[in-house]
A and B are shown apart, each in its own frame.
Chain A
Amino acid sequence: MANFIHKPQSAALAFMVAGAVWFVVGAVYGMFSAIHLVAPEFLPHVAALVFGRERPVHVNTMLYGFTGTMLVGIGLYYLPALLKTRLWSEPLAWVAFLFWNLTVLSGPLGFAFGYTQGREYNEYVWLADVSLVIAVACLIVNTVMTIVNRREPQLYVSIWYFMAAFLWTASNYPLGNVMWHPATGAMPGLIDSLFLWSWGHNLPGLLITPLATGAAYFVIPRVTRTPLNSHTLSLLGFWLLIALYSHIGAHHVLQSPIPNWLKTVSVVDSVSMVLPVSIVVINLWLTARGYGGRVWNDPPARLVMGGIVWYIITCIQGPLQSLPFLQRVTHFNNWTIGHAHIAMLGFGGYIALGAMWHVLPLVSGRPVYSNKLINLQFGLITFGLTGFFIVLTMAGLVQGSAWHNGETVLRVLPQLSPFMVMRAALGVFILTGSLVGLANLYLTLRPARDEEPLLRGEEAA
């Protein structure tokens, strides 16, 4: 055991495996809640399985458990690799692993039994908050000390994003979760909605986005075997992300009685988010230009590039739906749910999966068991998610425009059932995709397998 936690890159591998497991758990909960939106009497009288308790488990397990955990694991590999050194302390990374996963575990164990703060994306109870902040603090110390002990003078853009993700989370998470009020984790009155959505939107923006962007910046140039298109563009993208993104949480309560100047700031900056996003996308696109075949023929890189495509889709949608006139129709309904799914699974999840498959042979020293299974996973998730996007957007437009026409929620509800049935059916594909990924991961790491020499370099050539 002691040897194991000192083994180089063992923590990185542990984070990635945990991410794959949480993906399955989160997808199972997603499946249950999708079924409950079709058949509310499915498994009745089970307190732990009602929609209001399933949803936070699904959301938090997917955010922190799947996307977050997997991306941290990938970062723990590329951070020392890009700095030409070892991770400063492998045991410290294991401590972070322990506390991080305790927080995620508190979701299925706690929310299901009513131990929740109930604020969207801030549901973890105080003890779980503390656990997460400890994990992030460990990761900060580890990252800083690895940077200090580096043998590569230049800091590559992935490192900035990895470092900053934890700095921002450590500053922002306690604030958004109002950790100085442990009893409710909330501020009294309307101001609470600003704290809530500050973290609610910064969670994808300042934790998942930098981690995923960092991973994409690592994988794409490696696969195309060309240098990054532009250092200056990546600088611009990095600083614009933090200057703009932290402002936009208030667009979730745009039509509530918060101050007008605040609405203006959040709308203007939401629209400006087009800039840092297009910078990342253009930079990676230009890096891969002329080498599209290499990206397409490499299943992990194909997933990462797929994530970039979802990124641009979600970030065209985001600014549009934050415009007050359009938000009257797109807010409060399944449109937003579709947006959240393509942001978190499409952007964060695709890049996490792709980068994991890319990094896995480098971490474990074994080739991925089957590229065909990666392709199968890509196909399953893409079919499911594209369907989600279409179905939920359509359902949202039906709801939003009906309400705008003066219809009541009660009247629109029966019209949603075909969409909800399709959504549950499509959820099967995503759940299967998560299981295929876990199986592939298990078969890759299975100990009793005949060792084959690592052929990756030759294959790619």
Chain B
Amino acid sequence: MKMTPAFLIVGALLVFWASTFIIVGLPSLTMKDTPSDIWRPLSPLEREGHRLYVKNGCSYCHSLFIRVSDWDIGAERIARAGDYAGIEPAILGSERTGPDLSQEGGEHSDDWNIAHFTNPRYTTPISLMPAWDFLTKHEITALAAYVQALGGKDADVRQKRQREWKRQAQAAYAGGVDRNIEWLHAQVPEVWRRMPNPYPATEAALQRGKRIYQQLCINCHSPIGDGNGPAQPFLGPPPLNFTILRRHLVENRYIGGIFYYQIMNGITGTAMPYFKKHLESEKIWDLANYVAVSFLGYTDANTEPRGIDASYEGNWQNQYQPPAVDQSP
């Protein structure tokens, strides 16, 4: 075969356009932009946030689609074509340095998002995301509004829940320190409130708990557990001051089960996220032991009611005893 100039030019273009018609032309003619069940239009503020998302390159680290194989985030809802109706550009992303955001709306409270965008390490100490504090307050609000809208109507349900509980949490906080803690404890199911920490607070366990505290908790609750971390000014109600819990012994002990439940499940409405996706059971118990021993001075680990020790656990004596109960009236 001889390559003449005409053959080269016309041939190359013909094959290109034929190929391209298959890969772009046919889908353009056949794919429908029909909204899915959760789709809703973006508000002007959310659209502004979407522009900021696009122009600051958020998509280079955050994908916007959940795959069938995504166990950790995909159990509830896999991406559907109609989720993206009318969004321009709907950048799906190619990399997850940070998590997928397509169902992120309502996962966290608004104030958590504001603190997170101002400096991601305020809320997530291990984050690699740049601080966006050079954006104006309005721009950060818009970005947060967009992220809160991801997930459409599902996100609206979650957001409604966040706002409802935020109202109650704020009312409880306004009632004073003790009233606030009573309210917090009242949200924990009875069975957890009566359950001591089943794992011994050995040196190794406390070290494990400390590492988790430093990776996930430290910038809200602060290194000394008084709730004055760098995120504190952004959050309402502010992070809990653990040292106050010394006043709230239940039957002269603070119950590990309450810590466990709150770490596992978070406190919807406040900035306290849930960690049940990120931490295995023993890690949460270790963290509960670390918080109890470091900031309260004692733990109820290994006290009654208790079951059989796990086979790997040695004999451990609880040296973190609660202070003597003042019996005087």
User: Hey, which bits of chain A sit against chain B, CB under 8 A?
Assistant: 36-37, 40-41, 44-47, 50-53, 55-56, 111, 114-120, 144, 147-148, 155, 160, 163-164, 167-168, 171-172, 175, 181, 184-196, 198, 206, 232, 235, 239, 242-244, 246-247, 249-250, 252-253, 255-259, 262, 265-266, 328, 331-333, 336-337, 399, 403-411, 413-414
The docked-state distance in angstroms from the alpha carbon of A337 to that of B97 is 11
B86 engages A171 (CB within 8 Å): no
B65 engages A192 (CB within 8 Å): no
Instruction: Say yes or no: A189-B33 contact (C-beta < 8 A), given A164-B12, A255-B65, A255-B67.
Output: yes
Name which residue of chain B comes closest to A118, CB basis: B54
Q: How far is the CB of B204 from chain A (nearest CB, A)?
A: 19
Instruction: Say yes or no: A192-B89 contact (C-beta < 8 A), given A256-B65, A409-B96.
Output: yes
Name which residue of chain B comes closest to A120, CB basis: B94
Q: How far is the CB of B272 from chain A (nearest CB, A)?
A: 15
Instruction: Say yes or no: A265-B15 contact (C-beta < 8 A), given A45-B131, A144-B9, A255-B67.
Output: no
B22, CB-defined interface residue at 8 Å:
yes
The docked-state distance in angstroms from the alpha carbon of A244 to that of B15 is 10
Q: Kindly specify which of B76-84, B183-191, B252-260, B300-308 makes contact with the partner chain.
A: B76-84
B 84-111 binary contact with A (CB < 8 Å = 1; else 0): 1111111111111111100000000000
B129, CB-defined interface residue at 8 Å:
yes
Q: Which residue from B24, B31, B90, B128 sits with its C-beta under 8 Å from A40? A: B128
Known contacts A36-B128, A119-B91; 9 further A-B pairs (Cβ under 8 A): A163-B12, A168-B12, A189-B86, A192-B90, A198-B20, A239-B15, A259-B31, A332-B95, A409-B96
B72 engages A407 (CB within 8 Å): yes
B27 engages A192 (CB within 8 Å): no
B 1-40 binary contact with A (CB < 8 Å = 1; else 0): 1011100110111011101101110011011010000000
Name which residue of chain A comes closest to B2, CB basis: A154
The docked-state distance in angstroms from the alpha carbon of A252 to that of B15 is 22
The docked-state distance in angstroms from the alpha carbon of A242 to that of B23 is 13
B57, CB-defined interface residue at 8 Å:
yes
The docked-state distance in angstroms from the alpha carbon of A240 to that of B181 is 71
Instruction: Say yes or no: A184-B89 contact (C-beta < 8 A), given A116-B57, A120-B59.
Output: yes
Instruction: Say yes or no: A255-B131 contact (C-beta < 8 A), given A120-B60, A196-B91.
Output: no
Q: Which residue from B8, B93, B278 sits with its C-beta under 8 Å from A163? A: B8
B1 engages A190 (CB within 8 Å): no
B121, CB-defined interface residue at 8 Å:
yes
The docked-state distance in angstroms from the alpha carbon of A232 to that of B3 is 11
The docked-state distance in angstroms from the alpha carbon of A238 to that of B60 is 33
B70, CB-defined interface residue at 8 Å:
yes
The docked-state distance in angstroms from the alpha carbon of A336 to that of B67 is 17
B 130-146 binary contact with A (CB < 8 Å = 1; else 0): 11111000000000000
A188 engages B8 (CB within 8 Å): no
12 pairs across A/B with beta carbons < 8 Å? A41-B121, A47-B134, A51-B57, A56-B57, A120-B91, A189-B88, A192-B90, A198-B20, A247-B23, A337-B95, A406-B72, A411-B278
B124, CB-defined interface residue at 8 Å:
yes
B215, CB-defined interface residue at 8 Å:
yes
A190 engages B90 (CB within 8 Å): yes
Nearest 4 pairs of A and B residues by beta carbon: A52-B57, A186-B89, A118-B54, A50-B130
Q: Which residues of B contact A44 (CB under 8 A)?
A: 130-131
Q: Which residues of A contact B72 (CB under 8 A)?
A: 403, 406-409
Instruction: Say yes or no: A191-B23 contact (C-beta < 8 A), given A336-B94, A413-B126.
Output: no
Q: How far is the CB of B257 from chain A (nearest CB, A)?
A: 24
B23 engages A250 (CB within 8 Å): yes
Q: Which residue from A51, A147, A257 sits with its C-beta under 8 Å from B60? A: A51
B85 engages A189 (CB within 8 Å): yes
Q: How far is the CB of B156 from chain A (nearest CB, A)?
A: 21
A190 engages B94 (CB within 8 Å): no
B315, CB-defined interface residue at 8 Å:
no
The docked-state distance in angstroms from the alpha carbon of A252 to that of B8 is 30
A172 engages B20 (CB within 8 Å): yes
Q: Which residue of A119, A189, A232, A243 has the most chain B CB atoms within 10 A of its CB atom?
A: A189
